[in-house]
Structure 1
Amino acid sequence: MFNNTQSSSRSFQAIRRALFTLSFTGAAMCTAMMPAVANAAPPAQQKTQVPGFFRMKLGDFEVTALYDGYIDLDPKILKGASAKDIQNLLARMFLDNTPGVQTAVNGFLVHTGEHLVLVDTGSATAFGPTVGAMLGNIRAAGYEPAQIDTVLLTHLHADHSRGLLTADGKAAFPNAEVRVAKADADFWLDEQIAAKAPEAAQPMFKLAREAVAPYVAAGKFKTFAEGEALIPGVVVSPSPGHTPGHSGYLFTSKEQSLLVWGDVVHNHAVQFARPEIAIEFDIDSKKAIASRKKVFADAAKNKLWVAGAHLPFPGIGHVRAEAKGYAWVPVEYGPIRSDR
């Protein structure tokens, strides 16, 4: 038996040596037969970004952030601090300001189960080739513009309302009712007010009138007064100052709430840390600052989800109170979860 065991061991060792030799020889042959690609050039760089949408659950609602593009804003339009202070705040967040600070333009699509609601429509062609991706990203997110039944505008500035139109000037959302605060419509759509405005501001009035014109003609443009009910699960949250009727919209489902706040913030690096810093686009900067401070305090206290038109995409997150000022806490990318 001992001899048999030794014989088996020797046979096993011989088999291992043979297999090793065979595998080494085969690997060498395969290597020799492989095409010489080590020095080949890689394919061309793609130079495109992924589609601009991001989804999250809010109770039974589904929220889709939509990227329209970006605008480079000159930091000189921020008012209420020295240029050095503003540059330091930008540098602290590693923000480049050449040729300007890259500033996102976002919209938000909320599926309530009963309604498909779009808050703000982007810029379309109003500010050049770096914006205007809203319609394409709605489709990339799985919807068609014709399926949207309600468009809520935070205000009538062109980077929020001009996306109401297609490239040929028709209604981009043909089945939607468009709503905006009466105070904003009374200001931006009044030709007498426009005529008295500074010449540099008059194009903004014209862009607003043109944006809503197809909906006015179809009887689908309606204003609302403060406190007026819109649709179930949505409450108007007035924040005047940036424009006369500037408004956010508070969406609530199963005790979870998201405030889509429009232009409460234009620059996250500066205005969270220093809420008293305004922007020259504000119609009434004192009111805008007061609104921003109130919104920040409420959002931090109540731990609201918030969504901003000019926050870095997807523009959704929380506001955290600091010893001095506030901080922006962006949403974490992840799967769509129904257990939260």
Structure 2
Amino acid sequence: MDRRTALKHSALIALLGIIDVKKLFAASGNNSEIRGFHKFNLGKLELRVITDGHILMKPVQPNFAPGISSTVVEKTLDANFASKSEVDLSINILVVQSASRTILIDTGCGANFGKDSGWLTENLVHAGIKPSEVTDVVISHAHPDHIGGLTDKDGQVTFPNARVYLSRIEHDFWMSNSPDFSKSKITDEGLKKMVVAVARKNITALKPQLHLFEDRAEILDCIRIKLAPGHTPGHCVVQVFSGQESLYHVADLVHSQVLVFEHPEWGFEGDTDFELAVKSRRKILNELALSRALVFSYHLPWPGLGHVKKQGEGFEWIQQPTVLPD
């Protein structure tokens, strides 16, 4: 097996989740064709997907499908060849580059979830982007695995030259005296406190760089915002567009390609307003299925690109094939 074939074989193994994707492209030599990120074009925009790592959620319940019969859930997982003990969430960061701007949509976990995540800044450098070169950051919502990368372990701002865009509704919720979790199914009080603390820490640290937007805002000449509330009050779907081409970043509308796609009503324990999240999920997934739009998912398997297909009373995720470098 020659070196190039061996590298392609290693890359395939990593994409299947067998080895550490962070170390995937640490091959020696100067082969510029080997890269640890996925690059593609959308109209005149150059897009990259960069991994921040992953989060292993276990057990499956009550993180997913809280209140649903475990027998039914396990049967669904088994039918889809999925683990019945855990759900492994990718953390896929979308980078949008135009002639004058380098835009991140969400920033990963930062130092909040241990060594299996928080890889964004290192992997940006591997992709040829210095943190100081990031001009803008759009935050879909203020959960720790989306906003946490705005500051480092010492509380210093990670992207010092970037404007940071956040929904006004989202800002006001987390910065209120007592964020309302009464419609959530979260029972872990410690987790609630942690989520609030990380949101407030990062929003406060970025205040001089913060710009608040409203629903349906159009910003940076290539992004439109659509409120998709429920997961959090100001949770947004982010449309990236160039000419007639579009991609829809669905953030935390869905986490599992099996449970939440097939059964949108089963939901996710972390949804701040569980029933509203179900309503938003059904509405937007239906719109995406009808339009056959290109979709980017923050938490589905790398690199998170695909399409939504209607399937009975639920939906199906159709992963877009990813071609490895020659």
**TM-score bin (small chain):** 0.7 to 0.9
Match of 1:224 among 213, 226, 240: 213
Higher helix share goes to which structure?
1
Name the SS for the 1:252 alignment partner.
strand
Contact 1:195 1:202 survives alignment (8 Å): no
Aligned counterpart, 1:30? none
Aligned counterpart, 1:93? 80
Output the CA distance in 2 between the equivalents of 1:53 and 1:330: 17
Aligned counterpart, 1:272? 261
Mark the CA change 1:300 to 1:168 in structure 2 (over 3 Å): closer, same or farther.
same
Task: Describe how 1:107-122 pairs up with structure 2 within 5 A.
Answer: 107-122=93-108
Contact 2:181 2:273 survives alignment (8 Å): no
Aligned counterpart, 1:256? 245
Output the CA distance in 2 between the equivalents of 1:271 and 1:47: 26
Aligned counterpart, 1:202? 193
Name the SS for the 1:90 alignment partner.
helix
Letter in 1 for 2:175: L
Match of 2:202 among 188, 196, 211: 211
Name the SS for the 1:250 alignment partner.
strand
Deviation at 1:263, TM superposition (A): 0.1
Aligned counterpart, 1:185? 171
Q: Which moved more, 1:307-316 or 1:77-86?
A: 77-86
Letter in 2 for 1:262: A
Task: Describe how 1:1-340 pairs up with structure 2 within 5 A.
Answer: 48-49=20-21, 50-51=24-25, 52-73=36-57, 74-76=59-61, 77-78=63-64, 79=66, 81-98=68-85, 100-190=86-176, 192-194=177-179, 199-200=189-190, 201-216=192-207, 219-334=208-323
Output the CA distance in 1 between the equivalents of 2:151 and 2:60: 30
Letter in 1 for 2:45: F
User: Which TM-score applies when normalising by structure 1?
Assistant: 0.79
Mark the CA change 1:89 to 1:140 in structure 2 (over 3 Å): closer, same or farther.
farther
Runs of 4+ deviating beyond 6 Å: 195-198
Name the SS for the 2:258 alignment partner.
helix
Name the SS for the 2:265 alignment partner.
coil
Mark the CA change 1:80 to 1:254 in structure 2 (over 3 Å): closer, same or farther.
farther
Deviation at 1:97, TM superposition (A): 4.1
% of aligned pairs identical? 29
Mark the CA change 1:262 to 1:48 in structure 2 (over 3 Å): closer, same or farther.
closer
Name the SS for the 2:217 alignment partner.
coil
User: Which TM-score applies when normalising by structure 2?
Assistant: 0.82
Deviation at 1:308, TM superposition (A): 1.4
Q: Which of the two has higher C-alpha Rg?
A: 1
Name the SS for the 1:162 alignment partner.
helix
Output the CA distance in 1 between the equivalents of 2:40 and 2:211: 29
Contact 2:78 2:84 survives alignment (8 Å): no
Deviation at 1:94, TM superposition (A): 2.2
User: Any stretches of 5+ residues in structure 2 without a counterpart?
Assistant: 1-17, 26-35, 183-187
Name the SS for the 1:106 alignment partner.
strand
